């Protein structure tokens, strides 16, 4: 009842979630490219900065005729005369060198960039352009920043729907196949749907309270995290509940004991995920910093539900939750995980060596990792109109002309600039390898700031362009006229600074997240030995995930690189969520050791009893993450593959085999100095009984 009341109250009062997709919002104003953008707004407020591009070409793909060019000019004039909201000016552009294209440049209100109003303006330009071109031989398309934002938002809405349906279907079908119980299949979806409403409402309130921003891809990621992690915790609970029922506990007592046994593992697993996501607050990249608190809130709400809502609902239903299946009443003899457990118990060296080799071999591909930085293209399917325009403009016009680099030279003491040295300064800039042209294009009204426009020989988001911008910065600062200050801006400069910011995050977020997760593991296990090899194994899982993703996208698909933020996201999800399975397995290992079993027998029994929960949860979460590939854009496709593969590796290789085998080999030293393995000797070690012998949970009452 408390959950129902809270859901209604929070959802009814939650504000709408804001959104941004502007690359310049992703790094702080201390970076040079952002300072250059601010200077542009202050000193050249009336400069023509196109927000959209209207591209004209013949429908048959041939060269434009004189009549076609007249039609393009007429359409441009008519579009400007229609006074579309947000559109300030439309001017003709230059024809392409091959004569197949011409364009018009659209200026919009810069203060409302990225808003729904400009989405509507881009949509109106498309509709009106097609109507005005009716009866001509022209094909009219609209691209540029405003159109990209429109397409990205539409793609995100479509992707969110597909991901939601895919996630729902995967969880429902998998739960039906495993448990053959319709109530048990539907129950987690209903409860997590309730949790999702609460989590989204809390996130929206926090976002508004602290004036945060949210990227359009966040909603899709939130769906997967909520349903994936929520199903994990539900499965951890239900498998242990079923085990206690099989051991003879009364239904309500079985739930009390299940929560007492697995509650610490769920809380520790959630704590690791929350800490890892909050570590993103240390990031200088806005996309990651925005995502961290939202995902942490989602996991906090899911954790509370996992320890309160889920046990309460299952307790009310009781064993009928497994209806009509009767298999919950007995443990299958000769089960697959019993065989796996025997294998680990008898040959831990072989199991550790083989699973470790697999992880190391897959990690080799990470040595070839390369990054790409075009977030707009990465978050929008290539088939969208704005992406088609971007590709055609890049191919038909000077490759760097669509996104030039700007060098701003300002007087350091407020005096008029001496223009006598500008010709030589432009020559120095043009002499940089990779620069096609450099020229003085504008002076501010006071004559204190000059703007030089640099056209690169490479596409703005390419690695080559980013490297050239670094050289341009070096030369522009070194050759600056005396008494001046220089700022280099433009899209390539922004990508250069994002690259620097991501590199800083690697050196900051990675070790901080790892250290905090190790602290949680140490506190849970009362050990300083186990956290080290557990984190080392998770690190191997991350390397294997990155290496395989590089082979698939850079190797097999021939892409120039992976989206720049992918390794950070991959690290946090694979390390944090992957640690969930390690925690569940190591907690069961400790429990079996406390029962007096030797390390190898403990590892075998832990795999026998915790293995089904880890395998089921890992499969569902990996399949859930894979639904992100349904969105159709590069960012979510790469993210979906990487996270689903990473979860599969951590569950099926690391948690099921590598971790128990290594723990069996290390023996009781793994629990030093807390001696977490000390307890009452087991009456029945090894695999002698099919019925689990469970020591009474700490919170259970005497029977």
Average pLDDT over residues 531-557: 91
Amino acid 697: pLDDT? 46
E-state strands within 337-474: 371-372, 405-411, 435-443, 449-456
Q: What would the mean pLDDT of 157-162 be, rounded to a whole number?
A: 76
The whole model's pTM is what? 0.76
pLDDT, average across residues 501-526 = 86
The four Cα atoms 660, 665, 667, 670 give a dihedral, to 10 degrees, of -70
pLDDT digits (tens, 9 = 90+) for 96-149: 888 899 999 998 887 777 678 888 999 999 999 999 999 999 999 998 888 888
Residues 526-534, mean pLDDT to the nearest whole number: 89
Whole-number Å distance between alpha carbons of 178 and 310: 19
How high is the pLDDT of residue 687? 42
- What mean pLDDT comes out for the span 412-418? 87
Tell me which residue of 615, 584, 602, 612 sits closest to 327, measured CA to CA.
612
Q: Is the pLDDT of residue 498 over 90?
A: no
- Asked if residue 691 has pLDDT above 50, the reply is no
Peptide bond just before 467 cis, omega within 30 deg: no
**Could you give the CA distance from residue 160 to residue 174 in angstroms, rounded to a whole number?**
21
Q: What is the pLDDT of residue 218?
A: 66
- Per-residue pLDDT at 310: 94
Task: Please report the DSSP string for 311-348 in residue order.
Answer: HHHHHHHGGGGGTT--GGGSPPTT-HHHHHHHHHHH-H
* pLDDT at 522 exceeding the cut of 80: yes
pLDDT at 398 over 90: no
Instruction: Write the CA distances from 123 to 143, 216, 288, integer angstroms.
Output: 10, 18, 30
Q: Please give the biggest Cα pair distance in the chain.
A: 96
The answer to whether the CB of 76 falls within 8 A of the CB of 54 is yes
Range scoring the smallest mean pLDDT among 200-209, 358-367, 483-492: 200-209
Average pLDDT, the chain: 85
More confident residue, 540 or 162: 540
CB 312 within 8 A of CB 259: no
Each residue's pLDDT tens digit, 46-56:
777 788 899 99
Question: What is the per-residue pLDDT for 684?
Answer: 38
Q: Cα torsion at 238, 241, 246, 250 (round to 10°)?
A: -140
Q: Which of these ranges, 207-216, 275-284, 346-355, 439-448, has the smallest mean pLDDT? A: 207-216
Q: Is the peptide bond before 627 cis (omega within 30 degrees of 0)?
A: no
Q: What is the pLDDT of residue 381?
A: 72
Sheet holding 435-443: strands in order across? 435-443, 449-456, 405-411, 484-490
Highest-confidence segment of 81-90, 108-117, 669-678:
81-90
Residue 228 region by backbone torsions, left for phi larger than 0, else alpha for psi between -120 and 50, else beta: alpha
Q: Provide the H-helix boundaries in 372-416.
A: 375-378, 385-396
Q: How far apart are CA 621 and CA 224, in angstroms?
A: 8
C-alpha 328 chain-centroid distance? 37
Alpha helices (H) in 563-657, listed in sequence order = 566-572, 578-594, 599-626, 634-649
CA angle 580/614/587 to nearest 5° reads: 55
Confidence of residue 690 (pLDDT cuts 50, 70, 90): very low
pLDDT band at 670 (very low <50, low <70, confident <90, very high): confident
- For residue 485, which of 448, 510, 438, 457 has the smallest C-alpha distance? 448
Distance (Å, whole) CA 385 – CA 695: 63
**Residue 447 φ then ψ, to 5°:** 75, 20
Higher pLDDT, 548 or 118: 548
Query: Between these two residues, 212 and 7, which has the higher pLDDT value?
Result: 7
Which comes out higher in pLDDT, residue 586 or 216?
Answer: 586
* Residue from 488, 572, 618, 675 nearest 228 by CA: 618
Computed over its alpha carbons, how large is the radius of gyration of the chain?
A: 30
CA pair distance 639, 562, nearest whole angstrom: 9
pLDDT bin (cut points 50, 70, 90) of residue 277 is: confident
pLDDT of residue 676: 55
Q: What angle do CA 630, 636, 638 make, to 5 degrees?
A: 105
Q: What is the pLDDT of residue 378?
A: 62
More confident residue, 392 or 219: 392
Inform me whether the pLDDT recorded for 578 exceeds 90: no
Q: Check whether 215 has a pLDDT greater than 60.
A: no
Asked whether the predicted pLDDT for residue 304 surpasses 60, the reply is yes
Model confidence at 14: pLDDT above 90: no
Interatomic CA distance for residues 589 and 570, integer angstroms: 27
Tokens of 11: 């959802």
Strand pairing category for 405-411 and 449-456: antiparallel
- What one-character DSSP code corresponds to residue 689? -
Residue 550 has pLDDT above 70, yes or no: yes
- Among residues 579, 187, 147, 592, the alpha carbon closest in space to that of 385 is found at 147
Closest-CA residue to 72 (of 12, 141, 121, 22): 141
pLDDT: which is higher, 414 or 678: 414
DSSP designation for 687 = T
Measured distance between the N- and C-terminal CA atoms of the chain, rounded to whole angstroms: 30
Look at residue 332 in the predicted model and tell me its pLDDT.
62
pLDDT in tens, 228-269: 888 889 998 998 999 899 888 999 999 999 999 889 889 988
SS (H, E, C) 246-307: HCCCCHHHHHHHHHHHHHHHHHHHHHHHHHHHHHHHHCCCHHHHHHHHHHHHHHHHHHHHHH
Cα–Cα distance between 483 and 478 in angstroms, integer? 12
Name which residue leads in pLDDT, 682 or 220: 220
Percent of the chain at pLDDT above 90?
Answer: 35
Q: Is the pLDDT of residue 469 over 90?
A: yes
Position 597 scores a pLDDT of 87
């Amino acid at each position: 009842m408390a959950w129902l009341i809270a859901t209604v109250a929070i959802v009814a009062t939650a504000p709408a979630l804001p959104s941004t997709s502007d690359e310049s919002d992703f790094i702080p104003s201390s970076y040079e490219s952002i300072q250059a953008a601010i200077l542009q707004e202050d000193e050249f407020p009336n400069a023509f900065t196109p927000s959209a591009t209207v591209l004209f070409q013949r429908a048959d793909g041939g060269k434009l005729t004189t009549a076609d060019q007249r039609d393009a000019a007429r359409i441009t004039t008519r579009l400007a005369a229609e006074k579309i909201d947000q559109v300030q000016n439309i001017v003709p552009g230059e024809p392409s060198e091959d004569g197949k294209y011409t364009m018009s440049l659209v200026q919009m209100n810069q203060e409302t960039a990225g808003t729904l109003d400009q989405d509507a303006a881009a949509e109106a330009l498309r509709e009106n352009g097609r109507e005005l071109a009716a009866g001509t031989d022209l094909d009219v398309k609209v691209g540029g920043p405003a159109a990209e934002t429109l397409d990205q938002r539409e793609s995100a809405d479509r992707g969110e729907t597909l991901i939601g349906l895919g996630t729902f279907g995967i969880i429902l079908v998998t739960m039906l196949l495993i448990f053959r119980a319709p109530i048990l299949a539907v129950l987690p979806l209903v409860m997590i749907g309730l949790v999702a409403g609460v989590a989204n409402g809390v996130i929206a309130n926090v976002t508004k309270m602290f004036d945060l921003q949210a990227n359009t891809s966040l909603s899709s990621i939130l769906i997967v995290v909520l349903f994936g992690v929520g199903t994990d915790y539900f499965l951890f609970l239900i498998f242990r509940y079923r085990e206690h029922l099989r051991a003879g506990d009364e239904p309500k007592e079985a739930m009390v004991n299940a929560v007492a046994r697995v509650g610490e593992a769920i809380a520790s697993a959630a704590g690791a995920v929350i800490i890892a996501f909050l570590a993103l607050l240390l990031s200088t990249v806005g996309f990651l910093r925005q995502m961290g608190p939202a995902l942490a809130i989602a996991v906090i709400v899911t954790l509370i539900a996992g320890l309160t809502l889920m046990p309460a609902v299952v307790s009310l239903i009781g064993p009928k939750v497994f209806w009509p299946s009767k298999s919950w009443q007995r443990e299958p003899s000769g089960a697959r995980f019993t065989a796996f457990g025997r294998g680990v118990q008898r040959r831990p060296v072989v199991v550790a060596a083989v699973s470790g080799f697999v992880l190391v071999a897959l990690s080799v591909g990470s040595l070839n990792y390369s990054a790409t930085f075009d977030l707009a293209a990465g978050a929008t399917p290539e088939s969208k109109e704005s992406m088609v325009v971007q590709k055609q403009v890049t191919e038909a016009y000077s490759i760097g002309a669509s996104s030039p680099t700007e060098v701003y030279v300002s007087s350091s003491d407020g005096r008029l600039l001496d223009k006598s040295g500008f010709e030589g300064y432009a020559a120095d800039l043009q002499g940089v390898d990779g620069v096609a042209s450099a020229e003085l294009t504008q002076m501010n009204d006071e004559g204190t700031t000059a703007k030089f426009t640099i056209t690169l020989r490479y596409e703005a988001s390419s690695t080559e362009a980013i490297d050239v911008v670094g050289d341009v910065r070096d030369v522009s600062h070194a050759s600056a006229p005396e008494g001046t200050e220089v700022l280099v801006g433009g899209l390539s400069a922004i990508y250069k600074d994002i690259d620097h910011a991501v590199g800083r995050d690697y050196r900051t977020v990675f070790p901080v997240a790892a250290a905090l997760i190790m602290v949680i593991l140490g506190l849970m296990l009362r050990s300083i030995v186990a956290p080290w090899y557990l984190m080392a194994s998770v690190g191997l899982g991350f390397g294997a995930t990155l290496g395989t993703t590089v082979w698939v996208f850079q190797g097999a698909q021939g892409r120039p690189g992976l989206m720049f933020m992918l390794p950070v996201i991959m690290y946090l999800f694979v390390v944090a969520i992957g640690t969930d399975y390690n925690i569940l397995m190591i907690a069961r290992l400790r429990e079996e050791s406390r029962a007096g079993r030797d390390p190898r027998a403990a590892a075998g029994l832990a795999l026998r009893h915790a293995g089904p929960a880890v395998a089921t949860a890992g499969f569902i979460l990996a399949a859930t993450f894979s639904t992100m590939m349904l969105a159709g854009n590069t960012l979510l496709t790469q993210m979906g593959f990487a996270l689903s593969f990473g979860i599969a590796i951590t569950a099926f290789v690391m948690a099921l085999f590598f971790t128990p085998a290594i723990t069996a080999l290390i023996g009781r030293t793994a629990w030093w100095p807390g001696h977490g393995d000390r307890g009452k000797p087991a009456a029945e070690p090894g695999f002698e009984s099919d019925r689990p012998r469970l020591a009474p949970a700490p919170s259970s009452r005497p029977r």
